[in-house]
């Protein structure tokens, strides 16, 4: 039997902070999304748009040069910084202090990308969300686990989790290994799946929203943007992870009667974030 915390509306309302009437974009949080590579620019577009639609005031995307027009044209509200390389990221460089950084969607695993990710881990001062290929890079360089800032959020799907913590022989062992990983490095692990569990040390949260419509390309990239946005809006790390996962699943539950399972795509998650928030009011 599940002995953790069930993430339902009652639980979520303990964390949810409505928007202050006198807020402005400068205090709503500035999120930086780092990702994309040739052929996978869609991933960082989805993350960046999801970040904006989850309420942060400003979003900057850091992408390879070939992503400049793609991001600017797909999402005019997002600011864009580019790497010196055309097809992949080789030197992450920005001159502001983001309130949160999300890294990984579509970023690839090129050697130069690995190096600049290491540099970011050594120098970064912002709360961090790590997803997709940034997780795979970490798994290839397990010594870097020690560089993860406290309360970093990792968002692996089952294969990425296996690459991080190694194989398991039972569900029980999977949780044991994830809990010890979370405790050892003081990080939060969002174990994506059906359902998603969030592991914060020995505390396990089980999500109650979402359905198989979410089994579609880019669904996780959207989640990364949503969690990064909430982190940038000053939610504590585990609260950002919990609220992000809950709202992400809720979009699919709200959309299902209109889209059915098959035609729901990652952009539909973004299109329903507003209704998901409204259902909390
Ligand atoms: N439009 C874009 O630009 C998009 C870009 N994207 C970007 O592509 C990059 C690669 O990311 P990725 O996740 O596709 O590849 P990868 O890490 O090899 O994992 C795939 C393997 O993992 C497994 N698996 C996955 N889920 C599972 C589950 N629930 N339950 C069980 N197993 C599961 C499954 O393994 P199998 O079952 O086949 O053995 C599957 O074959 C990354 O940067 C990402 O951001 C994508 O986001 C798409 C849209
Ligand atoms: N059958 C399902 N039921 C509920 N949620 C699902 C289901 N399949 C996938 N998801 C959710 O969709 C997302 C998939 O993430 P991920 O595999 O990283 O996608 P991508 O890399 O294509 O963006 C996760 O949040 C996962 O929990
Ligand atoms: Mg993914």
- For the stretch 178-201, pLDDT in tens is 999 999 999 999 999 999 999 999
**Site to substitute for ligand 2 among 35, 130, 157, most atoms within 8 A of C-beta:** 157
Q: Which ligand is nearest to the CA of 222?
A: 2
Place of tokens 């620019």: 41
What crossing angle do the helices spanning 41-53 and 219-232 adopt, rounded to 10°?
40
Q: Please give the Cα distance from 254 to 275 (Å, whole number).
A: 8
Q: Which residues line ligand 1 (CB under 6 A)?
A: 40, 42-43, 105-107, 132-133, 136, 157-160, 193, 217-218, 220-221
Residue ranges of the binding site for (6S)-NADPHX: 43, 106, 157, 221
Which residues is 206 bridged to in the sheet?
A: 6, 197
Residue ranges of the binding site: 43, 106, 157, 192-196, 220-221
Q: Give the pLDDT confidence score for residue 141 in this predicted structure.
A: 98
Q: Is the CB of 156 under 6 A from ligand 2?
A: no
CA quadruple 171, 223, 33, 37: dihedral, nearest 10: 70
Q: Which two structure tokens, joined as six digits, stand for 262?
A: 């098959």
Q: How far is CA 153 from CA 73, 171, 186, 276, in A?
A: 30, 21, 10, 22
Q: Give the pLDDT confidence score for residue 75 in this predicted structure.
A: 98
Q: For 222-259, how does the pLDDT look when each residue is reduced to its tens digit (9 = 90+)?
A: 999 999 999 999 999 999 999 999 999 999 999 999 99
Which residues does the chain have with pLDDT short of 70?
none
27 secondary structure, DSSP code: T
Q: What is the CA(216)–ligand 2 centre distance, in A?
A: 7
Q: Is the CB of 253 under 6 A from ligand 2?
A: no
Q: Give the pLDDT confidence score for residue 121 in this predicted structure.
A: 98
N-terminal to C-terminal alpha carbon distance within the chain: 32
Q: What is the CA(192)–ligand 2 centre distance, in A?
A: 6
Closest ligand 2 atom to Cα of 216: 22
Q: Give the pLDDT confidence score for residue 125 in this predicted structure.
A: 93
Q: What is the CA(221)–ligand 2 centre distance, in A?
A: 9
Q: Give the pLDDT confidence score for residue 181 in this predicted structure.
A: 98
């Amino acid at each position: 039997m599940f002995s953790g915390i069930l993430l339902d509306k009652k639980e979520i309302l303990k964390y949810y902070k409505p928007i202050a009437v006198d807020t402005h974009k400068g205090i709503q949080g500035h999120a930086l999304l780092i990702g994309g590579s040739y052929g996978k620019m869609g991933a960082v577009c989805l993350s960046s748009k999801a970040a904006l639609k989850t309420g942060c005031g400003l979003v900057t995307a850091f992408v390879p040069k070939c992503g400049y027009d793609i991001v600017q044209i797909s999402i005019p509200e997002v600011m864009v910084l580019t790497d010196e390389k055309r097809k992949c990221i080789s030197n992450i460089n920005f001159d502001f202090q983001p309130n949160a950084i999300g890294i990984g969607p579509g970023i690839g695993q090129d050697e130069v990308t690995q190096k600049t990710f290491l540099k970011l881990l050594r120098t970064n001062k912002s709360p961090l969300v790590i997803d997709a290929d940034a997780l795979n890079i970490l798994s290839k360089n397990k010594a870097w686990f020690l560089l993860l800032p406290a309360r970093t959020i990792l968002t692996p799907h089952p294969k990425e989790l296996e690459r991080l913590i190694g194989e398991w022989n039972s569900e029980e062992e999977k949780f044991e290994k994830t809990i010890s990983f979370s405790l050892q490095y003081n990080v939060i692990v969002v174990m994506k799946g059906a359902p998603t569990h969030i592991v914060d040390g020995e505390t396990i949260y089980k999500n109650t929203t979402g359905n198989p419509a979410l089994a579609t390309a880019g669904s996780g990239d959207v989640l990364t943007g949503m969690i990064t946005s909430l982190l940038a809006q000053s939610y504590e790390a585990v609260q950002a992870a919990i609220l992000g996962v809950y709202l992400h699943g809720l979009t699919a539950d709200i959309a299902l009667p209109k889209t059915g399972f098959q035609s729901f795509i990652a952009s539909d998650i973004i299109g329903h974030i507003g209704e998901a928030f409204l259902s909390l009011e």
